[in-house]
């Protein structure tokens, strides 16, 4: 019998003592557990009673953190177990854990173990038994200060997004740490990545897996078959619920797509770029250029000094729609998460929002942790005027909870659909009390539309470019009269939006005449005939090299 057979036999032969948990711990004061969260607590308690180390893998937004906090509260209250417990998480979400603990179990003492070596040395001096119950820290700090942590007998170690831990972390913890119970949290379905699977199983069952090396075992068995076996072992001690499984307890999510036409300058730049692609080694760069043009032509021009006027949104189909739908959503009382992929897009959108007088916050990959926490706190405060949170998809995909938002606008889509789903989950989660509307902006007859299709039927990059050059049937943009039906939640909102359209048209006409114009209002998107000479010169002189 090999080590995998031993683990499988152990898990299947355990006498499961199912402790009946019908109510949440009294010390849990931050709110009330939902029905499925109470069942999750019972599952976690049963794992503890039967000395089984497992994985809580509920979908993002279903409250894994709260279920873990309720487990620790249960152990303290019902088992008279005062720790110490260690929660290990990425630095970006450590503060979220601290805030949740403050909210749900404010009387439970905790230590947030971070900082420079001197600060951590001072924290170590305060690690006296009885002074703390929960230690919050990161994977890196556990590895750096392994000698200190390995001296402590940990009753529970909980890894949040355990797959992010590096091999050195798992080697350190599995071989040197004293840990009574272990738990892994993840919202991402486990995949057939042999080293990652091995690390996770080694953490959960170190006494068995420490005896053999993954490379040695992979030589004995086919790697693919080995991964399949390991995944089956995981399933024996894994709990995963999806939002569709508990849909009565999670607000509904609806996604709508607005197909955006491109302005004349977008079409010209797009076609020139597409026609210039001849060398396949430039595929990735070409895809990025084409996607940039789909967002806004200004983003694809070097050092362009553009005027801040109506041509900002007339030059881009996406900005044209944003200019119309954002004021409507804000007037109807909605809070909006606006996601995009690049810092350059965030910068241009920031200028647009400021010009329109919209109160907003922003976050990208360079935003410091303290500033992220402050921004999320401000956005979640209903007494503050911030109605739009502008984020990069990857930066806003983890570690933040913006349950007051009820609208997500995907200005452009991530090449990995799961990143978009993670970003949407920041708003679509337990604690939200409104259905979530996701609005996705997609440029028609473009590589962006192909990327949108790719999320359903994967294509490689070469096929993506080839398919972009095919003519075929062209897509039609979403009609203006359809937009209100797409973004309105009810008939009252649709009536409001129609009234706002009429008022905006009157204001635009009055403003146009006040500027001394006698001609009719120009079309919604710029045309080739109205492009000024300086703009065309800039196009030829400063457009990215292809």
- Report which of residues 431 and 148 the model is more confident about: 148
Average pLDDT over residues 53-71: 87
**What confidence category does residue 540 fall into, taking pLDDT thresholds of 50, 70 and 90?**
low
The answer to whether position 474 is within a domain reads yes
**What confidence category does residue 85 fall into, taking pLDDT thresholds of 50, 70 and 90?**
very high
* 189/224 same-domain check: yes
- The pLDDT, as a whole number, for residue 466 is 38
Does 9 score more than 70 pLDDT? no
- The pLDDT, as a whole number, for residue 546 is 43
| Chain Cα centroid distance, residue 13 | 38
* Domains identified in the chain, total number: 2
Least confidently predicted of 15-19, 113-117, 356-360: 15-19
Last residue of a domain, one of 246, 274, 302: 246
* 196/68 same-domain check: yes
- The pLDDT, as a whole number, for residue 208 is 61
The answer to whether position 10 is within a domain reads no
- Report which of residues 393 and 228 the model is more confident about: 393
Q: What is the CATH number of the domain that holds 37?
A: 3.40.50.10810
Nearest to 202 by CA among 239, 233, 171: 171
The answer to whether position 68 is within a domain reads yes
**What confidence category does residue 414 fall into, taking pLDDT thresholds of 50, 70 and 90?**
confident
* 86/200 same-domain check: yes
Does 505 score more than 80 pLDDT? yes
* 381/474 same-domain check: yes
Does 255 score more than 90 pLDDT? no
- The pLDDT, as a whole number, for residue 467 is 41
Does 432 score more than 90 pLDDT? no
> In this structure, are residues 241 and 33 in contact, taking their beta carbons and an 8 Å threshold?
no
> In this structure, are residues 146 and 140 in contact, taking their beta carbons and an 8 Å threshold?
no
Average pLDDT over residues 129-142: 85
Q: What is the CATH number of the domain that holds 502?
A: 3.40.50.300
Rounded Cα distance between 240 and 55, Å, is 8
Average pLDDT over residues 119-142: 85
The pTM for the full model equals: 0.68
- The pLDDT, as a whole number, for residue 460 is 41
> In this structure, are residues 90 and 161 in contact, taking their beta carbons and an 8 Å threshold?
yes
Average pLDDT over residues 65-91: 90
- Report which of residues 424 and 142 the model is more confident about: 142
Does 14 score more than 60 pLDDT? no
Does 87 score more than 50 pLDDT? yes
Least confidently predicted of 71-80, 85-94, 209-218, 519-528: 209-218
- The pLDDT, as a whole number, for residue 349 is 93
- The pLDDT, as a whole number, for residue 272 is 80
Last residue of a domain, one of 199, 230, 246: 246
> In this structure, are residues 235 and 190 in contact, taking their beta carbons and an 8 Å threshold?
no
Does 281 score more than 70 pLDDT? no
Average pLDDT over residues 237-261: 78
- Only one residue has tokens 């430039």, namely 282
Parent domain of 335: 253-542
Last residue of a domain, one of 212, 246, 280: 246
- The pLDDT, as a whole number, for residue 322 is 94
pLDDT digits (tens, 9 = 90+) for 194-240: 666 777 777 777 766 555 555 555 545 566 666 666 777 777 778 88
- The pLDDT, as a whole number, for residue 6 is 58
Does 318 score more than 90 pLDDT? yes
- The pLDDT, as a whole number, for residue 386 is 92
* 271/414 same-domain check: yes
The answer to whether position 37 is within a domain reads yes
Contacts of 294 (CB under 8 A, 6+ apart): 262, 266, 270, 318, 412, 443, 446, 447, 448
The answer to whether position 6 is within a domain reads no
The answer to whether position 9 is within a domain reads no
- The pLDDT, as a whole number, for residue 462 is 38
* 409/351 same-domain check: yes
What average pLDDT is seen over the chain?
78
φ and ψ at 383, to 5 degrees? -85, -10
pLDDT digits (tens, 9 = 90+) for 354-369: 999 999 999 887 887 7
The percentage of residues in the chain with a pLDDT greater than 90, rounded to a whole number, is 14
The percentage of residues in the chain with a pLDDT greater than 70, rounded to a whole number, is 75
**What confidence category does residue 331 fall into, taking pLDDT thresholds of 50, 70 and 90?**
very high
Does 133 score more than 80 pLDDT? yes
* 523/481 same-domain check: yes
User: 480: which 2 tokens?
Assistant: 């203006």
- The pLDDT, as a whole number, for residue 465 is 41
- Report which of residues 500 and 462 the model is more confident about: 500
Does 472 score more than 50 pLDDT? no
The answer to whether position 501 is within a domain reads yes
DSSP 277-335: ---GGGHHHHHHHHHHHHH-GGGGBTT----SSTHHHHS-HHHHHHHHHHHHHHHTT--
Average pLDDT over residues 339-363: 91
């Amino acid at each position: 019998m090999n080590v995998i057979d031993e683990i499988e036999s152990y898990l299947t032969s355990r006498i499961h003592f199912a402790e009946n948990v019908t109510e949440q711990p009294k010390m849990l004061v931050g709110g009330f557990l939902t029905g499925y969260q109470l069942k999750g607590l019972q599952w976690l308690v049963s794992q503890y009673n039967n000395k089984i180390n497992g994985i809580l893998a509920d979908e993002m937004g279903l409250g894994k953190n709260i279920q873990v906090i309720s487990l620790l509260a249960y152990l303290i209250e019902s088992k008279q177990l005062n720790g110490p417990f260690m929660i290990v998480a990425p630095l970006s979400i450590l503060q979220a854990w601290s805030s949740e603990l403050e909210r749900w179990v404010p009387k439970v003492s905790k230590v947030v173990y971070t900082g420079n070596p001197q600060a951590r040395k001072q924290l170590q001096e305060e690690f006296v038994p009885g002074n703390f119950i929960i230690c919050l820290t990161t994977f890196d700090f556990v590895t750096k200060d392994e000698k200190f942590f390995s001296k402590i007998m940990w009753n529970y170690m909980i890894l949040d997004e355990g797959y992010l831990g590096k091999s050195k972390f798992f080697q350190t913890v599995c071989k040197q740490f004293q840990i009574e119970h272990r738990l892994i949290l993840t919202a991402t379905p486990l995949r057939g990545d042999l080293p990652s699977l091995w690390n996770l199983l080694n953490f959960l069952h170190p006494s068995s897996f420490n005896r053999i090396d993954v490379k040695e075992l992979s030589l004995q068995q086919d790697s693919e078959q080995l991964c399949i076996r390991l995944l089956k072992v995981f399933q024996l001690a894994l709990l995963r619920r999806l939002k569709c499984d508990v849909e009565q307890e999670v607000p509904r999510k609806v996604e709508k797509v607005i197909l955006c036409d491109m302005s004349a300058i977008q079409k010209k730049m797009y076609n020139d770029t597409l026609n210039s692609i001849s060398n396949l080694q430039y595929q990735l760069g070409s895809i990025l250029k084409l996607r940039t043009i789909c967002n806004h032509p200004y983003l694809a021009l070097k050092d362009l000094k553009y005027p801040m006027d109506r041509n900002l949104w007339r030059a881009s189909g996406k900005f044209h729609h944003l200019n119309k739908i954002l004021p409507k959503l804000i007037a109807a009382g909605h809070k909006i998460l606006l996601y995009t992929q690049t810092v350059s897009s965030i910068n241009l959108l920031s200028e647009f929002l400021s010009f329109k007088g919209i109160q907003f916050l922003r976050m990208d990959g360079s935003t410091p942790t303290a500033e992220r926490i402050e921004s999320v706190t401000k956005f979640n405060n209903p007494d503050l005027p911030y109605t739009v949170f502008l984020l990069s998809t990857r930066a806003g995909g983890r570690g933040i909870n913006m349950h007051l938002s009820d609208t997500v606008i995907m200005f452009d889509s991530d090449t990995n659909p799961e990143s978009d789903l993670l970003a949407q989950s920041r708003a679509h989660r337990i604690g939200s009390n409104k259905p979530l509307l996701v609005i996705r902006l997609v440029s028609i007859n473009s590589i962006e539309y192909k990327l949108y299709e790719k999320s359903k039927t994967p294509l490689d990059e070469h096929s993506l470019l080839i398919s972009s050059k095919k003519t075929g049937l062209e897509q039609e943009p979403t009609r203006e009269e359809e937009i209100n039906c797409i973004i309105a939640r009810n008939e009252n909102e649709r009536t409001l939006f129609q009234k706002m359209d009429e008022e905006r048209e009157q204001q635009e006409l009055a403003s146009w005449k006040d500027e001394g114009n006698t001609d009719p209002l120009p079309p919604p998107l710029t045309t080739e005939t109205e492009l000024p000479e300086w703009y065309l010169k800039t196009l030829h002189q400063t457009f990215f090299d292809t």
